[in-house]
Structure 1
């Protein structure tokens, strides 16, 4: 899942103002501060740190949101309405907005972000984008303590709720739902903690009348066992600067994410299920683990299943199988 050329060009252009060594140092400092979970008001302290954050995190955030939104739009096909406006909450430097712009014909974009430097870098980066991105409105707001001052057909909150405590997660998730005219997409890290956050939000918003679009094929309690967690993965190409900022040598990274997409309207129930793990391929057969309306089950395909067997051999974790 590669970023568009104009976004990569924007990052290269902006990072020319800071040495590679400083960007690497700043990226490591941000990572340490994030893991330490110190004062959240001190997350980003300078323009160079905002640039380092953009280099280190935009590719993975872009990839995860693109993947989750693509699955969501596929599930909406045939009954979902067009979405002309986007509200990106906790936008950072705008990765989720770029992802949405690549999949939805946006006419209006509003990005909500607390950190001043992140808003400044995000605005500069979007000058390289489409007309909708160039005209995006950036709003300062602390979503944990203030009302969210806008609405959108599509609302996205990516890697936001994991920075809040459980009570604030519940409060903010309801604020997000109140802002969504048609669809709300929440993306979190594909960790046990990220999944538990998604599960709590899912429960809260179903009680508010939301309807699940993806990834779940039902609105029943999540059947995943407590020692396991629901998550998906997308492969992200790494630029040289990205590799340096992450301290790795591999030309790619696999970003694990969890997500839920909720709509105002209930769509048709589709037969089949979501693949939860990478298919197990052996000679002449493929076994897949599926989340279905009846719960989690295993299904086996053989060459005798013809086209279905061929499709499943090419499928991956997160795909829908009928």
Structure 2
């Protein structure tokens, strides 16, 4: 999915983004204060990270929607940042309402200029969530709070139908999602995606989406490649049992001569499957499959 050109244009109107982005990157790499304090810092961060967050949430939400009988009509985006997740949801859903909850004033102020939604101030660790919604989304947020399980329970209680959590593909982020998955399934949640089952799993399960890079994006992040691959992990949990597929592709398909090798997550565990050309229908699907696709 293409990042909206209008939002990209608005982000590119801020002067000095390259130097500010470099300063933020240095702070992150050296473990110094990661908080964003100025409008310029919020704009530089958004210009650097918002397209990737948008792409990851869009891909995770696409895979989640395949498992739902009824698409969500209301959205609660918790830890919304500058609204990338809401922007992705608005591209995929016909939403009647969207609420963005963000603690940092500089991020919230910029988000209000970029994404049409009901923006509110909240700290998920200290405050009660003010609303419920069909779909609750938290993207790249739970790994930054003091007690992510406590926060995830709040998110789950606010979800009328679906809770979607998106994090990085780092092993520690995947491990966090596994802990949340275990905790919430014990509280009655059903796994909609990516797993085709509710059973325990210790797999380092992560996915990728391809992000188009603008000229500014190339300048901010370095390099001339026209795209980048954002690797991410996610879990989608539902109140009612989801419509499950029989398997999900975990690795990039290995295409050989008249055959395709697939690594699949199934209700019986992870399996290796080879699809041969004589099986025409499945062979065609396997050749075009991407990591994360359901079969």
Q: Normalising to structure 1: TM-score of the pair?
A: 0.88
Q: CA deviation at 1:38?
A: 4.5
- 1:1-322 alignment, distance < 5 Å: 1-11=1-11, 15-18=12-15, 22-39=16-33, 43-76=35-68, 79=69, 81-126=70-115, 133=116, 136-165=117-146, 168-224=147-203, 229-270=204-245, 272-321=246-295
Q: Which runs of 5+ in 2 are unaligned?
A: none
C-alpha distance in structure 2 between counterparts of 1:39 and 1:171, whole Å: 24
8 Å CA contact 2:140–2:168 kept in 1: the answer is: yes
Q: Normalising to structure 2: TM-score of the pair?
A: 0.96
Q: Secondary structure at the match of 2:287?
A: helix
1:129 aligns with none
Structure 1 residues 51 and 246: alpha-carbon distance in aligned structure 2, compared to 1, 3 A threshold: same
Q: CA deviation at 1:146?
A: 2.2
The count of corresponding residues between Structure 1 and Structure 2 is 295
Q: CA deviation at 1:269?
A: 4.3
8 Å CA contact 1:65–1:96 kept in 2: the answer is: yes
C-alpha distance in structure 2 between counterparts of 1:17 and 1:298, whole Å: 49
Q: CA deviation at 1:150?
A: 2.2
Higher alpha-carbon deviation: 88-97 or 27-36: 27-36
Higher alpha-carbon deviation: 27-36 or 174-183: 27-36
Residues 136-169 of structure 1: per-residue CA shift (max 9 Å, x gap): 211111112222222211100000011124xx11
Q: Aligned-pair RMSD on alpha carbons?
A: 1.4
Structure 1 residues 306 and 27: alpha-carbon distance in aligned structure 2, compared to 1, 3 A threshold: same
Structure 1 residues 35 and 86: alpha-carbon distance in aligned structure 2, compared to 1, 3 A threshold: farther
Q: CA deviation at 1:214?
A: 0.5
1:130 aligns with none
Q: Secondary structure at the match of 1:304?
A: coil
C-alpha distance in structure 1 between counterparts of 2:243 and 2:52, whole Å: 32
C-alpha distance in structure 2 between counterparts of 1:164 and 1:16, whole Å: 31
Residues 268-311 of structure 1: per-residue CA shift (max 9 Å, x gap): 443x2111000011111101000000000011111110121011
